[in-house]
Amino acid sequence: MATTTQKPVTQKDTELQPAENQQLAMSEKFTNRVLQEFGSNVAGALQVTDYQRQLIQGYFIAIDRALKLAEEARIRKNENNKDHKYDNPVPVIWANVNLNDLALDVVHYARMGLDMMQDNHLFPIPFKNNKTNKYDITLMPGYNGIQYIAEKYAVEKPLAVTIELVYSTDTFRPIKKSKDNKVEGYEFEINNAFDRGEVVGGFGYIEYTDPVKNRLVIMTRKDIEKRKPKYASAEFWGGKSKVWENGKQVETELEGWFEEMCLKTIKREVYSAKHMPRDPKKIDDNYQYMKMREARFAEMEAQAEIDANANAIIIDTTPQPQRELPPPNVDAETGEIINPGKLAEAAPAATTPTGPNF
């Protein structure tokens, strides 16, 4: 009988790349620490599935990258501030993260099924807490996360949802439900695809198995701008903003990304409980916790903008956003990152985070 010889297995054959091995080990330690912190703050036995543990490990990877980008921004801002009067001396590292609150957020969002490694699901935003001199990591659902939550807790999951901006040269005619028309609908035509004019509004159309339940949500430009945050960043909505030049703050006019902000506003409205009712039987502690944290995020964002305008020590973690395909950036309003899967290519290779020994 013929015999075969096998090539000896060497250490090189079985060894992970150092950065990958290091990152995996740290994500596992982070998961264990998070579950320990959560268990010490919440009464009752903590139960998470294997899938939820995987989600939490993914959270570590995304948060670690966000901290690195924020630290780069902190250093860059300090260097641009020539007199160093408003330097931020607190490094954006794991040692300076409020891990207690983060643990609560991480477990609740993982239980909901939000995945940071999926496009536009969930994004981490570091905020410097000037009272504690630490960073609070706020987790904010993105486009797909908002849709996922709406459909998961909806009384009835829709078949499809169409969301569009309407420009001044477009033709849009709503067909509302009436005694003679049982199905709500619309007519929409783009007359000049390459020069559509100004945004005049937008709409969302929710379709169900029973077309009688179909719903058309219309928003005028005035409706959209009413929902613009009071302290909205000019980087995204356009307008005047203060920037650092030669060690001084000067006011400049920014074009912003008004169309993207309008589209996002319509999506948030369409997927809200007002237009896509939630099922009371499906509402759980995780959903209630998320709504509470969203309110807290709005407060933190407003305070961050106030502090920035007042030259307070604040970290800017929101690079200029892109439209569709360019590398990802963080959205100051929702924390959203476009194409987060490409963040790994743009960010430095993962290394051991500076901070607590998970």
pLDDT at 341: 39
The end-to-end CA distance of the chain, in Å, is 54
How long a stretch of residues is the chain? 358
pLDDT of 270 reads 96
pTM: 0.70
Question: In the prediction, which pLDDT does 247 show?
Answer: 61
Strands (E), 231-285: 239-245, 248-254
pLDDT number for residue 293: 81
State the pLDDT at residue 140: 87
Q: pLDDT tens for the chain, 358 residues: list them.
A: 444 444 454 444 444 455 555 666 788 889 888 888 787 666 555 778 999 999 999 999 999 999 999 999 889 888 877 767 778 889 999 999 999 889 999 999 999 999 999 988 999 989 888 889 999 998 988 888 999 999 999 999 999 999 999 999 999 999 999 999 999 999 999 999 999 999 999 999 999 999 999 999 999 999 999 987 765 666 667 666 666 666 666 777 666 778 888 998 999 999 999 999 999 999 998 988 888 887 776 666 666 655 555 443 333 333 334 333 333 344 444 444 444 333 333 333 333 345 445 6
Q: What does the pLDDT read at residue 216?
A: 98
Q: What is the pLDDT of residue 289?
A: 87
What whole-number distance in Å separates Cα of residue 207 and Cα of residue 185?
9
Q: What is the pLDDT of residue 242?
A: 66
Q: What residue segments make up the domains of the chain, in order of their start?
A: 14-154+278-358, 156-277
Tokens describing residue 188: 């929409």
Note the pLDDT of residue 264: 86
Query: What three-state secondary structure class fits 13?
Result: helix
Note whether 337 and 117 are within 8 A (CB): no
Q: Distance (Å, rounded) from C-alpha 307 to C-alpha 312?
A: 5
Q: Are 94 and 355 in contact (CB under 8 A)?
A: yes
Number of Cα atoms under 13 Å in the Cβ half of residue 92: 28
